[in-house]
Structure 1
Amino acid sequence: MSTIDRPIDVVHAPTPVKHSAAPQAAFSPRLATGLIGMLLASLLAILNEQVTAIAMTDVQGALSIGHDEGTWLTTLFEAANVATMVFAPWFGITFTLKRFTIGATLATMGFGLLCPFAPNLASLYGLRVLQGIAGGCLPPMLIIVALRYLPPKIKLYGLAGYALTATFGPALGTPLAALWTEYVSWKMAFWQIVPLGALACVAIQQGLPADAPKLERLRAFNWTGFLTGGPAIAMLVTGLLQGERLDWFESDFIRAMFLGGGALIAVFLANEWFHPMPFFKLQLLSRRNFAHGLTTLAGAVILLVGVAAIPGQHLARIHAYRPLQSAPLSLLVAVPLLVALPLTAALLNTKRVDSRWVMATGLSLMIATCVMGSYMTSEWIRDNFYWLQSLQIAAQPMVILAILMGVTTGLPPTEGPFASAMFNSLKTFSAAVATALIEGLGTARERFHSNVLVDQLGNRALIADQRVDTAGALAGLAHRVHEQALVLMSADLYRVMGCIAIALLLLVPVLPVRIYPPWSTTPPSSH
């Protein structure tokens, strides 16, 4: 019998446990409105991050900012964004989810409104850092309210809403960036969040219960964790995102970022283990499904980012596509996800369905995507990627929702903030790792293939045999070599993504244990 079917690994959904927290509000249309508001706030944060990053070339041109300076606009935002996710759940519980989320949403909107009017580059850097801090507060709140307020029967559908922000949101980034930069104004990359944010604030204000703040928690504030964890993660993210531009460990700055960040993160994790009021509850990692969920999450995010980035990168560098021309590829994934996510949630909400098999199926589709992509050629245009992208419609919900189900099943609402902090921080940090991997490995493989191709041309004396030794002929030859190196690089990146998916697939029959839907209190019949 396969280890994936071992009956000894069955884990029952726990019976409700009484906690000292305030009684849970009864689920009603009003509460549903508040939850939708939280979903919109989380989606707002993701869209703000994705659209501004994709539209950054147009922003740089409009503000007369050089490429190197422009990279810091994204780096500073991401570093602040990831670092904030570690602490946001703690502050959300302390100041109440309702007030904290509305305040963070208003701040994200306000800083976005001001960005196009920044008087100089330093002011723009400051606004991006502040917007990164405000935006990083929003996604963690969604998991907390889903665990606290959703009845067991529909809890997986609430998690599907969170998965929407992790899959639908990023996929919608390219089409929106193309819409604003091509047809409206580059300023809309910053201002697009205002209508969505206003709607989210109204829904949250009207729908979520008004809890009492727990300001007494401030007396036991985890200062050591705060002063080590935030700088540690910010330094590591900065090193990852600036590493390729500064030639990685050849740069004193990059070495300082990684060594300093690594030392601080070690102190942070040691402190979290022993602190009575931590930001990360590392003891949760003793639960096999929680540990497997976080491990798989890191790999899955790298997969999602890589599989989404490779086609766009290929089309831009080989065929000079702009976001407008690449947008149909993203829309092909984004729009069907609105149906695929609730359908996958309904599947996982069935007692007889093993979430491990669902995850394995999703990873297998990821592997199939990478295998097919590894056979790409320079002739591939947008149409050639449609079949590959269409597999993601089923693969992404299967993987992400199965991970969420494994991480959250059995967690009481009181542990929701810890799970949310760890889950969201790792998710966003893994996206930075994926970006660094694609850029660093891509550059290394492009150089390798360029050298090999040039050596082959020299060995075959093709250049010497050219009767028309003109600058134009040599330029054309150099262009073909560069183009082929880029194609081989993209194929290699697909192979690397495929290896990551295979490694995650091999973990499925080994590490996680069988779990059942949140509403289930008894396992199905053994037959």
Structure 2
Amino acid sequence: MTSPTKASAEGAGAESGGLDARVLKIAAVVVLGAIMSILDTTVVAVAQNTFQDVFDTSAASAAWTATGYTLALAAVIPLSSWAAARFGTKKVYLTSLVLFVIGSILCAFAWNIGSLVAFRMLQGAGGGMLMPVGMMILTRAAGPERVGSVMAVLGVPMLLGPIAGPILGGVLIEYVSWHWIFLINVPIGILAFLYSAWILEDDDEKTRPPFDFVGLLLLSPGLALFLYGVSSSNDAGTFIAAKVLIPMVIGAALIIAFVFHALRGKNNNPLIDLRLFKNPTLSWTVVTFSLFLIAFFGASLLFPQYFIGVRGESTLMAGLLVAPQGLGAMITMPIAGRMTDKIGPGKFVLTGIVLIAFGLGAFMFLGAGTSYWILGAALFVQGLGMGMSMMPMMSAALATLSADKVADGSTLVNVVQQTAASVGTAVISVILASNLKSVTPPTPSGLAGAFGDTFVVAVVLIVLCLVPAFFLPRKKVSVHTEIGADGEPVKAAPVMMH
């Protein structure tokens, strides 16, 4: 526990909305872990052809290096809340870092595609808890009054990962070797582990909640099967193939069964507390966030494919051409995060969504020779909107939760994020493939038009976000009048700083 003097200084920081040195140090811990986890989701995308050549395998087999990682993430994320309560956030976070680094080393020394997929799944098992547990640590350290500010810090790797991943992967593969897309995690991981062990302190209290085995047997395989079916649509080119529908239906059935299990009156400790949805702010945020992420990750897939497939650019150049989006986000994200703590998320989210819609709208009119200056400006506008909307949405989901519900809220947000990202990528991929097939003969202008038609779907999804976003708070969320999981006003427990 801190001394009165230190506690007073930190309390002053909280009241002013700023982040004191202690919280910034903890934020650096979480960002290091998030960078590794998120970059590894995107960096492997540019290595698919390399894996096919090196391991003499098919495109479908190589794709499992991405799919296996995603499925492992989905399977372990639901465990985050229970594990944090049972073992403490510090121990869980450090263990996740160790698993991720070990998986990275093994990936670099894989001898065939099967071993690489297996080691990627080990990576995913470690990486799956880094984000939700990191969010718990940050939110508790800063307190509900500063959730927007800390989410802005955490949002940097979340928004820049899809942009930086292809650039980094292209540089390493082209100028070094494919092994280094995994080995680069080792020094970062060691640094993150040592820094985390030094900065983070053991939780003051750890409960011993009963483990929800039934919930685990329903939700984790349910999410994995559903996302496997969704991912399979990329290879099948449709959602109605048996290998897509069967796992999706079985997975959805298991998830629905978990919902009934979690909401049973006598179930006081479900794997994820779905009673949080009684909180209207969290409910509207989850709906908005889901639509937003489907559109965001879907569109992120289209940008590099257009630059590479239609304009003939290299992977590295395609990544650089998308960079204005990240620059725009870096400008507005810290401002929106700080102001969200003072005036609520609603105004920023609505404004951000409008900016994204305008920026994406320019891509509906793509041609084979559309000016890079126009596209760069459109991406910059999108980035401004991303920075104004994504993190305020995440802070809206957590700011009204009492301290004991932050772990469940963080886990829930990350489940939604992983699912929506996979769905968005799959839906946009299938639509793009269908549009490209209709281009005969495949001329540059025709291919560009196919991309433009696919962007229409992303724009529609973004515009639809305006409906649930309208119901987000447009005033400062008070910690003393927050809405608990039972739908009643509660007072948040004080956040103790070490």
TM-score by length of 1: 0.83
Residue 508 in structure 1 maps to residue 469 in structure 2: yes
Q: How many residues align?
A: 468
Pairwise CA distance, 1:129: 1.3
| Equivalent residues of 2:93, 2:129 under 8 A apart | yes
Residue 53 (structure 1) shift: 2.3
Task: Determine whether 1:489 maps to 2:450.
Answer: yes
1:379 aligned residue: 369
In structure 2, what is the equivalent of residue 165 of structure 1? 157
> In the alignment, which of 56, 62, 67 is matched to residue 54 of structure 2?
62
1:227 equivalent to 2:217? Answer: yes
The 2-side partners of 1:514 and 1:286 are apart by 19
Determine helix, strand or coil for the equivalent of 1:137: helix
Contact 2:73-2:127 within 8 A present in 1 as well? yes
Give the C-alpha shift of residue 514 in structure 1: 3.5
SS of the aligned residue for 1:216 comes to coil
| Shift of residue 431, structure 1, vs aligned partner | 0.7
The CA deviation at 1:60 is 3.0
| 1-structure distance, mates of 2:59, 2:337 | 43
Distance 1:332 1:249, change over 3 A: closer
Asked if 1 retains the 8 angstrom alpha-carbon contact of 2:163 and 2:323, the reply is: yes
Matched AA of 2:276: L
Partner of 1:400: 390
User: Cα distance, 1:236 vs. partner?
Assistant: 0.8
Q: What CA distance in whole angstroms lies between the structure 2 residues aligned with 1:380 and 1:444?
A: 23
2:142 aligned with 1:181: no
Query: Secondary structure, in 3 states, of the residue corresponding to 1:245?
Result: helix
Indicate if the aligned counterparts of 1:37 and 1:199 stay in contact, CA closer than 8 A.
no
Q: Of residues 113, 116, 119 in structure 2, which corresponds to 1:124?
A: 116
Residue equivalent to 2:291: 299
- For 1:415 and 1:520, the matched residues in 2 are separated by 15
In 2, the alpha carbon distance for the partners of 1:515 and 1:84 equals 35
Q: Secondary structure at the residue paired with 1:373?
A: helix
Judge conservation of contact 2:281–2:396 (CA < 8 Å) in 1.
yes
Is this contact kept in 2: 1:329–1:389, CA < 8 A? no
The equivalent position to 1:211 in structure 2, one of 192, 203, 226, is 203
* 8 Å Cα contact 1:52-1:190 kept in structure 2: no
Structure 1 residues 179 and 288: alpha-carbon distance in aligned structure 2, compared to 1, 3 A threshold: same
The structure-2 alpha-carbon separation of the partners of 1:50 and 1:437, relative to structure 1 and needing over 3 Å to count, comes to: same
Does the 8 Å contact 1:296/1:504 carry over to 2?
A: yes
How far did 1:284 drift? 1.3
1:89 alignment partner in structure 2: 81
Q: Which residue number in structure 2 is paired with residue 431 of structure 1?
A: 421
**1:459 match:** none
Contact 1:31/1:208 (<8 A) preserved: no
Q: Which amino acid aligns with 1:413?
A: A
Q: CA deviation at 1:31?
A: 5.6
Any unmatched runs of 5+ in structure 2? 11-19, 483-498
CA offsets per residue over residues 425-447 of structure 1, 9 Å max, x none? 11111110011111111122233
Contact 2:167 2:319 in 1 (8 A): yes
Which among 38, 44, 49 is matched to residue 46 of structure 1?
38
- The CA deviation at 1:194 is 1.5
Deviations 1:333-381 (A, max 9, x none): 334534432122233233xx45322111111111112221111111136
Overall identity of the aligned pairs, in %:
20
CA spacing shift, 1:165–1:273, aligned 2, 3 Å: farther
Q: Deviation at 1:244?
A: 3.1
Q: CA offset at residue 182 of structure 1? A: 1.7
In the other structure, the counterpart of 1:318 is 310
Match runs of 1:73-472 below 5 Å:
73-151=65-143, 154-211=146-203, 214=206, 216-217=208-209, 220-248=210-238, 251-274=241-264, 275-350=267-342, 353=343, 355-380=345-370, 382-448=372-438, 450=439
TM-score (norm. length: structure 2): 0.87
Aligned-pair Cα RMSD in Å: 2.6
C-alpha separation in 1, matches of 2:318 and 2:478: 39
Check whether the contact 1:175–1:330 (CA below 8 A) recurs between aligned residues.
no
Deviation of 1:192 after TM superposition, in Å, equals 1.5
The alpha-carbon distance between structure 1 residues 165 and 89, as it changes in their structure 2 partners (threshold 3 A), is farther
Runs of 4+ in 1 over 6 A off after TM superposition: 22-25, 519-522
Q: Which has the larger radius of gyration?
A: 1
Q: Structure 1 residues 330, 191: CA separation in 2 closer, same or farther (over 3 Å shift)? A: farther
1:386 deviates by 0.3
**1:244 partner SS:** helix
Which residue identity does 2:447 align to in structure 1?
A: L
Change (3 A) 1:252 1:346: closer
The answer to whether the Cα contact below 8 Å between 1:315 and 1:382 also exists between their aligned partners in 2 is no
